A and B are shown apart, each in its own frame.
Chain A
C-alpha cells in the first residue's frame, strides 16, 4: 500500500501537466494563426490583365497578391535562345516549354528567389533579368544562371481567357 500511493500521485501530476499543456497549446494556436493571411487577402487571389498593347520585346509588370508579375512578349531570338540551353548548364533545370505555355508569352513572378527583390529587365549576363540586390542573373526564360539565388523565378498559375487577356491566379 505504502508503495502505491506515490505512484498514484505521480500519475496524477503527469496527467495534470499533459492536460495543462494541451490546454495551453489549444489557447495559443488562435493567437499564432491570426498572423496568417486573412480572408480578404486570400479573396484577392486572381487578377485579369489586358495584354493587347504589349509589343514583342516588351515587358509589362502587374501587381498580383502584392507581388510584381512580369508579362513579357518575347522575340523569336529570345525564344530560340531560351530553348537552346542545355539542361546540364542549369542550376535549377526546367525546360522552356514547361515555363511558357505559349512560347511568345512568359508570365512569371518578378521576385528574385534569393531574398525577394525585383530583378531588372533586359539586364545581366544572359540577356534576361538581373537582381541588383545580391547579383543573381536570369536568362530569357527567367531561369537562374549565375549568383546566389537557388531557383528559377516562379511561374504563377495563369490562363489565357481570350487572345488578349491573361488571368493570373
Chain B
C-alpha cells in the first residue's frame, strides 16, 4: 500500500520481515500520508477504537464475576457493585462506556454525512461502518439485558417480540430466540454468549474498516482528491497521532464526568428492581442511543409496518452512497445540502426526544412528521439535490486556497462566512 518499498535497517529485522512483513505494516501505519487539513471531527475514529478496547477489557473483567443465570444475575451484579474490588468502577465504566461509544459513533457518522465521506471511492468503508453500527446496537441491547433488572427483562421482551410481526413464521422465531415461551434463563445465557462474541466481530470489522480506508486514504474537509504523499499530506505519526491523543484526552474528561459524577444518569431507575415477569414497568424506554428508531417504530400504527420502517431507517444508511447523487463531497461547497444536513440532524434529535415521551397526543403527531421527514431526506431530497443544486467551485488542492495566487482564493476567504 505504501508508495515506497520498506527495508528494515537491522539484519534481524530484515530476516524477520522477509518471513512475516509485520514491520512493513508498522511502517505503512506510521508513514501513512494523511491530509493536513483534517479537523477535530476526524479524531473520532481513534476515539472509537479506544471505546471498543475499553469495553472489551472492562467486559472481560466483569465476566469474571458475573453469573449468567436468571436466579443469580441480578445478585451477582449487585455483588460486583458492593463486594468486588473496584467492581463499581469497572461496571460504571462499562455501562457508561456503551453510551460514550454511541456518542462517538454518532459524531463519526454525522461527520461522514457532512463531508460526504461515504461517496466514491469510499462506499465499502461506509458499509462496513454501518454493519459495525448494527452490531453495536445488538451488543448494547443484549448487554443491557444481562443485569436482569425490570428494564432488562421488559426491554428484551419488547425487542424480541418485534420478530413476531413477521407473518407466519414470526411466533416460531420468537420462541426460538427465547428458548422457551417467554424471556427466561435460556434467553439470558444465549444473550450473554452473543454479548461476549459480538465485540470481537466488531474488532475484526474495524480492521477491515481501516484497511478499506487505507486504500483510497482519508477524505478531508475540502472533500477533494489529493495526491499522496504530497505537500497536501503529513505522515500519520507523529502529526495525527498527537492530535488524536489530545482529542482522546478531552473525550476522556467527558467520559470520566459520567463515570464519577453521574454514573446512573443515562440509565433507568427501574433496572435496579429485579426482573419480574408478572409486572411491566409503567413506562418502557430503551437506552437513549436507540430512541430515534424507537420513535419511528411507535409512530406507525401497524405492527408489521412499524417494525419494517424501523429496520429500513437503518438500512437506508447503507444505500446512502447511491441515494446521494451529488459528485461534490464536502457540504462546504454545497449551500443547499448544508441546510438540509442541519435539518436532518435536528429531525433525528427530535425523534430521539419524542422516543422518550409517551406515544400519544402531540408527541405522536411530532413523531409522525419527523419520521416522514427522515425518509423524505434520504429518498427524495438527496437524490434530487444532486441534480438541482448549484454547487460552489471547488479548489484544485487543499493548499491552493491557503497559499493564494489562484482563482480559488475567493473561496478560501468566503469559506468562513459559509461555515456560519
Contact = CB atoms under 8 A, between A and B. Distances in A.
A162 B154 CA distance: 35
Given A66-B180, A66-B181, A66-B182, A135 B278 contact: no
A66 B178 CA distance: 11
Contacts of B154: 117, 133
Given A61-B278, A132-B282, A66 B184 contact: yes
Interface in B299-337: 301-303, 306
Interface string A105-122: 000000000111111000
A133 B280 contact: yes
A92 interface: no
Given A116-B161, A117-B157, A41 B186 contact: yes
A134 interface: yes
A167 interface: no
Interface in A82-140: 114-119, 131-135
B179 interface: yes
Interface in B135-177: 154, 157-158, 160-162, 164, 175-177
A148 B181 CA distance: 22
Contacts of B303: 114, 148-150
Given A61-B278, A114-B303, A117-B280, A135 B181 contact: no
B175 A118 contact: no
B179 A38 contact: yes
A67 B284 CA distance: 18
A36 interface: yes
A155 to B, nearest CB: 15
A86 to B, nearest CB: 22
Contacts of B161: 114-116
Contacts of A63: 277-278
| Chain A CB within 10 Å, residue with most, of B177, B298, B302, B303 | B303
A49 B7 CA distance: 80
Contacts of A37: 175, 178-181, 186
Interface in A42-75: 61, 63, 65-68
Interface in A15-45: 32, 35-38, 41
Contacts of B160: 116
- Chain A contact-residue range equals 20 to 34
Given A35-B190, A134-B359, A135-B359, A116 B179 contact: no
B403 interface: no
Contacts of A134: 298, 359
Given A38-B186, A115-B162, A132 B280 contact: yes
Nearest to B183: A66
B180 A65 contact: yes
A66 B182 CA distance: 5
Nearest to A117: B280
B135 to A, nearest CB: 19
Contact of A36 (B176, B183, B283): B176
B301 A148 contact: yes
B360 interface: yes
A41 B280 contact: no
Contacts of B158: 115-117, 133
Contact of A35 (B157, B177, B280, B283): B177
A115 B157 contact: yes
A63 B279 CA distance: 11
A67 B303 CA distance: 21
A67 B182 contact: yes
Contacts of A118: 277-280
B181 A65 contact: yes
Lowest 7 A-B CB distances belong to which pairs? A66-B182, A65-B181, A116-B161, A117-B280, A115-B161, A118-B280, A115-B158
11 contacts: A35-B190, A36-B176, A41-B184, A65-B181, A116-B158, A118-B277, A118-B278, A132-B282, A132-B283, A133-B280, A149-B303
